[in-house]
Amino acid sequence: MRKALTALFLVALVSAPLRAELKYTMRMEMKKSDAPGANTNPMLGMMGEQMMKQMLPNGSTEIVYIIGDKGTRMEFTQAAMGQAAGAVNIAKPDGTMYVVDPQNKTYWKTTSQAASDAMKAAGLAPEVTAKKTGQSETVAGVKCEVVAFDWKMALPIPEAARASLPPDFPTTLTMNGDSCTTNQYSKYADMIARGAGGMLAAMGFDKVAQGGLIVRQTMQMMGYEMKSVVTSISEEAMDPTVFDIPADYKEVPAPTGAPK
């Protein structure tokens, strides 16, 4: 009887679904680029400086990602990408996106479809080309393939306004670089696609990800270089409530200009 019970226990153990989430930390840094020709347009340099102040006001940050069946969670350890330090973003599998402020116990919400629709309505349509280089790297113990990419987006400037613009005013934003993508955690990439995938596709970064997970990326844009690299990554069972909004948090209106 004891042997039979042990056998049944082992069968149940190996056949039971293992629930786990992917948790990783991404470090981001931005600095003025020293690439040839990177700072030739003073107007772009001014735009780049403003962008840097918005994206990484401290010059660097770390973002903690948690990805699972219930959604994707981003925790901002410092101010970055327009988010305050401590802010949390949650994308649900149905595309609903929450921007959470733990300090004030508030949140507002939108959808990835609304965000991509807002880009299209504004005339923002990035063109992206991406190609595997045949090179590979190891990042945070994970083997990945290098993908080179070029990103270009025409600014939606009305024809009537173009004639009054300074000669060096940029009408197109360009960006180039390379990413290192791994298929080791491809199932989690699928989970991201179900939630925030619409926004990623609208920006063209679905082509860069190549169906996998980006663990290292270098981008040159507007005279600046931004590097992102995963410093730690692991699969572990998380408290499922990390994808939920606490009951005592209050919903507030979306900020002016945010997609609704």
Cα(225)–Cα(176) distance, integer angstroms: 10
Section 29-53 average pLDDT? 75
Predicted pLDDT at 145: 96
The chain-wide mean pLDDT, for the chain, equals: 84
Predicted pLDDT at 65: 93
pLDDT band (50, 70, 90) for residue 12: very low
Domains of the chain with bracketed CATH:
20-238 (2.50.20)
- pTM score over 0.75: yes
Each residue of 56-70: pLDDT tens digit? Answer: 888 899 999 999 989
pLDDT band (50, 70, 90) for residue 17: very low
**pLDDT at residue 18 greater than cutoff 60:** no
Cα(30)–Cα(257) distance, integer angstroms: 26
Q: And the tokens for 87?
A: 């802010």
**pLDDT at residue 1 greater than cutoff 50:** no
Each residue of 140-199: pLDDT tens digit? Answer: 999 999 999 999 988 888 888 888 888 778 788 888 999 999 999 888 887 777 666 666
Of 112 and 236, the one with more pLDDT? 236
In order of 58, 61, 65, 89, 113, the CA distances from 152 in angstroms are 27, 26, 27, 27, 21
